[in-house]
Structure formats: structure tokens, C-alpha cells
A and B are shown apart, each in its own frame.
Chain A
Amino acid sequence: MTGSQGAPLLEVENLTTLYPVRRGLADRVARQPRLWVHAVDGVSFTLARGEMLALVGESGCGKTTTAQTILGMVAPASGTVRLNGTEIAGLPERQMRPLRRQLQMIYQDPYESLDPRFRVETAVGEPLLVHGIGGKPAERRELIVAALERAGLSPAEAFLARYPHELSGGQRQRVAIAASLVLGPDLLLADEPVSMLDVSVRAGVLTLLDRLRRDGRMGILMITHDLSTAAHFADRIAVMYLGRIVEHGPARQVVRHPQHPYTKALLSVVPARDPRVRSAPQLLTGETPNPVDVPTGCRFHPRCPVAVERCSALDPELRVVSSASHEVACLLA
């Protein structure tokens, strides 16, 4: 493994990912300038081994694009992604492939991420074949069984010959997790890992992820829209809005003492389980603006309930407030 010993597991610095906007023929003939969507616009964070960071935000905020850029599925326009100290952003596929062992993805929908024609053994063993690990079938089976057990499917032998349709939603997601564990990754990217599952089994899958990062040398980047889940399971929360991280800090502190008006509004609309707890929902009008046409100044100012004049002119950067690890991008914080 290359890279320095002391480097954090994952370092993302100033990451920017652009998507071109499709132009019609008329626009091209008229030589209209090409427009770009700033899906991710200068995102920085680090993740240590044994840690879980939740990237939280509404759809279109850039949280999934951030994960896809880290994975190398999308090339960044600028910025760096270092895994164990090695730069991986924009690496050509041939150099990226061996590194993929170290970072694995868990997708949202285990009904789609598993091939219905593959038995559990084939699905979990496929990454081993792709990476040429475990020469003999017996060796491979041992690794597959170990991964299934780690994913909480026990006894693993009972699951090997099953097809996805014979499994419940929670079991499917555990098979998908086993398939990402089988290579022994350092970093797991989990994109809404439980949002397709039934309430009664969600906690089990989240507890599994929690255990994996606590007892392993693994770090987990969880992408979610669910602040309650993030508050329960993550060490730190980064709130994204229109391609930027607007608040970032220890989970409990972000939830208890939010500093950014967007975080405050987002937290205020999370419904509580207890009917007696009535928060005062602070309904923001409208929806997240189009990322092609980002507002000037602070990108949240058109919807911000406390915006003042300079908010439309100055673009606030993330800066430390209260405690050392709590950062906010707001002029008024």
C-alpha cells in the first residue's frame, strides 16, 4: 500500500464536479455558451478510520455526486481526493481498479443492486473474481462465508445457495454489504443504505454498519437525507446545500446547537416520534434552486429567513465557530 502512515483514511479537498447542461440545436447554432451544473462546488472534509461521517442534505444538494466522485465514477473538475495518502481523483481506470479494493459502495436499493439470477455465493464472490483474489474455490468460499457472517447473515452456509427473491429486504441489503466487505475495504460509502427497507429492520442494518466501523479499521461515509438517522449513528454531520457544505461538526452539536439557518430550518421540520413534542416547523418557501443558476453571494440567501443585505453580495466560507471542530458557512453565525 502506498501513502504515508499518518495520513487520514480519506481526505477530500476543494472538490468540484461539474456536469454540462445539454444544449438544444438552436442554442448551439446561436453559439450560446455552454452551461455547467456545479453539482459539487468546493467540498472539503476528512474521514478517519473507525469513524462515520454523515453527508446530509435534500435531493440535488450534491451528496451523491460527492460520493460518485470519490469512487471515481465521475471525474472531478478540480480538487483532490486522497485515500490513505494516495491521490485518487481523476486516475485512469487501469490505475484506479486495484485501489477499488480499498473503497466500496453500498447502494440504496437492494432490490436492484443484486442480480436476481445470482445466488448469494456468486453475488458475494464476484468481487473476488474481478480482483483475482482467492485462487482456489475453497479459499474463495471461506472468504465469502466470513463476509456473510460479518454482515450478520449467520449461519452463512444457509444463505450461500439462495437467490435474492428468497430473501427479505433486510437480508438482501446484508448480502450487498457482504459483497462490499469481501474485499476487506478501508472505506465504505453508503448511499441511503436503509431508505428502501422496512422500519423494523432499518435499525439492524444501521447497527451493523456502526459495529463494522467501530471494531474495524474501516471508515464509513454515509449519505442520507434522514437527519434522525445521522444524529443517532454518525460521529460527525456535514450538511450540504447546492453543492456546498454549509455546516459541519460533531453530530450531537450540529443537531443540538445548529448555527446555519438552513440546518436550523431542516432540523425544525424533522417530525418527532412523540406527539407531545411539537417543534415549531420553520417552513422554507419553495425548493432548492436550480444549480445551473446559483444565487449570488450566499447561495441560501433567497430562502433564508434571517438574510441581510450583504448576504446577497458576499459568499461565506466555512469557518470555525464555538468549538474547534464545528464549522459554519454563514456571515451571521
Chain B
Amino acid sequence: MSLLEVSDLHVWFDLPQGPQVHAVQGVSFALEPGDRFGLVGESGCGKTTTILATMGLLPPTASVSGEVRVDGQNILAGGEDSARGYRWKDIAMVFQGAMNALNPVKKVGWQIAEPMAFHGIAKGAAARRRAGELLEMVGIPAASAERYPHEFSGGMRQRASIAMALACQPRILLADEPTTALDVMVQAQILDLLARLSSELGLALVLVTHDLPVVAQTCGRAAVMYAGEIVECGPMETLFHQPRHPYTRLLFAATPDLYGAGEDEAVVSIGGAPPRLDEPITGCPFQPRCDVVLERCAEEHPALRLVGPGHEAACHHAERAGAS
């Protein structure tokens, strides 16, 4: 039994007119305490929707199927009533742009203490003391609890929003693009903090980002998403050195690398655009942009299958797709 087990998750969004958008199409992954797992993909691939569904935070226009199990208990089984019991206490999230979503008229310490009172973890002086401890844990002096968000720099505000997510001692932290708007130096500080929290507190971390190098340096394992599906999943080293899905290989090749620069290694973009998700897709969703297409690819949808130890890929010719 894993700490977190997401299995066969599907999400559909209703549109005001016309068909539904099938935003997440059968996503499964599992996490153990202390795991650092990356969810990588381009905009619209369903990575944020996946973790919002995991939190039970999708709007009423979304329909969800599949299971999200924490310690074996399906937290989505009873709708909002069952999800609420786990949210923030077992599974917490740092939202995209969270650092800009702090309440400007409330002191930072108050904002961190508020969820503790709401969830009955601590209140009054105890909650304030714990807010101070949480700030220290993320690298901000406890005395700063008495300050307002505008007195914080961007990096400090992001640290404060991580402290807020940790208020109720969750065991799973979902972080959506936690460093995207930050400078490289601050990004490195935040990633260092997340890695430290996961090893010191045994926190299972899901890092959602479009930035492959960030995942490569932070996570042990990752899943690459495309058009609502996981197309490849495995240890980070395997994904980089022996990718089995052409999309993974091409995505790495499209990312400029400081350590590859100067060796005249070309940075190549991937032609075309991801498919629309409001129409049924026949065959492999990546086939129109792929550089190794077989006849089968246009007709038959490739299922995610085991291609190596702990390594899965959804490609008809995964056995040779890595060679390029």
C-alpha cells in the first residue's frame, strides 16, 4: 500500500457549448514517503488538472473518474465530504503563483495560523508559535510572522506559501510550478528547500513543471505528460539517458542546456502543436509531431506498458524509439 496512489484518473470539463474536453485521460502514479516525483509537460497537457483532481479541488464543471488513495482510502469516493477530511491534513498544495496570492492586509503569521484553527490543529498562541516554527523551517526568521506580504521579497513570499501549505503537517505536498516566476538564484534556494523538506520530514513531493532541468535536478522519478496522458514514466536518469518515447527525447532536445552549449549541440523545436482534447483522438496522440511514425501509429492508440525496470512508455516502437 502506497502513501498516495492515483489510479486511472480521468477528468472531463463541460464547455458552455459543444463537446466535453477530456483533459486527463487515465493517469496513474504512486508515491512513497520521501519520494520526489516530477510531472512534466507543456501547457494544456493536463498536469495541473491532475493534481487539482488529486486535491479534490476541481470546479463543478468537471467530472472525475478514477481513484485517489491515501493509505489505501479512496478520498474521492464520497465527493467533497470525504476529500475535505484529507485536504491540507494529509495532502497539501502550493498553487501556481501562490506567492502572489497572499492576503495583502493580513500579517503573514496570521495567514499561516488560519488553516490550523480551521482544521483544529492548533489555535491562539499555540497556532502563532507553530506559524513561527514553520517560518523558521522554510528559512524565514520567526519574527517576520508579524510582517505583511508586501514587506517580503518574491522568494520570501514563496517560502511563506510553502509554510502555509505545511501548516497542518501534511505527508504529501503537491507543488505547481513553484519556481516559475523566480530568478535562478531564488529558484535554486526554493528547490533546495523542497528537497530538504522531503528528506527531513519524509514529505512525498509532486513537482509539476514544464522545466525539465528543474525536475532532472530535483526528482528521482518523473512522468512526462502529453495530451492528457502519461506517455512515459520512470527514473529520471533513465528518462534522460534511455528515453523510450520520442516525445521525451524530443523534449530534452528542445531544452537548451548550459552544459551542452558550445559543443555545437543543436537545440531543436518540435514542429506542430498538441491535439485538441475536445475531439476523440485516433491512434497515438503524438503521431502528427513524431519523427518515427509507423503505420500502426495512426490507427492504434499505444497503451502505457513496462519497457524496463520501473520504466513505462506509451509507444508502439518503444524498443527502438530511444535510439536516435
A residues apposed to B, CB below 8 Å: 58-59, 168-170, 198-207, 225-229, 231-233, 251-252, 255-256, 265-267, 269-278, 281, 283-284, 287
Contacts and interface: CB of A to CB of B under 8 A. Distances in A.
Contacts of B257: 228, 272-274
**Shortest 3 CB-CB distances between A and B: which pairs?**
A204-B269, A231-B261, A269-B188
Contacts of A270: 184, 213, 258
B262 A201 contact: no
A250 B185 CA distance: 23
Contacts of B103: none
Interface residues of B, number: 44
A201 B271 CA distance: 7
Given A207-B269, A272-B213, A283 B255 contact: no
A200 B270 contact: yes
11 contacts: A202-B256, A203-B254, A204-B269, A207-B267, A226-B256, A269-B187, A271-B211, A271-B214, A275-B240, A276-B237, A276-B240
A255 B260 CA distance: 11
Most chain A beta-carbon neighbours within 10 Å: one of B188, B237, B271: B188
A287 B258 CA distance: 23
B192 interface: yes
B256 A231 contact: yes
A53 to B, nearest CB: 16
A201 B216 contact: no
Nearest to A60: B183
B210 interface: yes
Chain A interface secondary structure, helix, strand, loop or mixed? helix
Contacts of A204: 269, 271
A225 B185 CA distance: 11
B185 A283 contact: yes
A32 B127 CA distance: 42
Contact of B185 (A168, A207, A284): A284
A252 B260 CA distance: 11
B100 to A, nearest CB: 14
A220 B236 CA distance: 36
Interface string B250-282: 111011111111100001111101000000000
Nearest to B45: A198
B213 A271 contact: yes
Nearest to A171: B273
B43 A275 contact: no
B185 A269 contact: yes
Contact of B237 (A206, A275, A284): A275
A204 to B, nearest CB: 3
B269 A228 contact: no
B153 interface: yes
A228 B258 contact: yes
A273 B255 contact: yes
A203 B256 CA distance: 8
B189 interface: yes
Contacts of A266: 184-185
Nearest to A253: B262
B114 interface: no
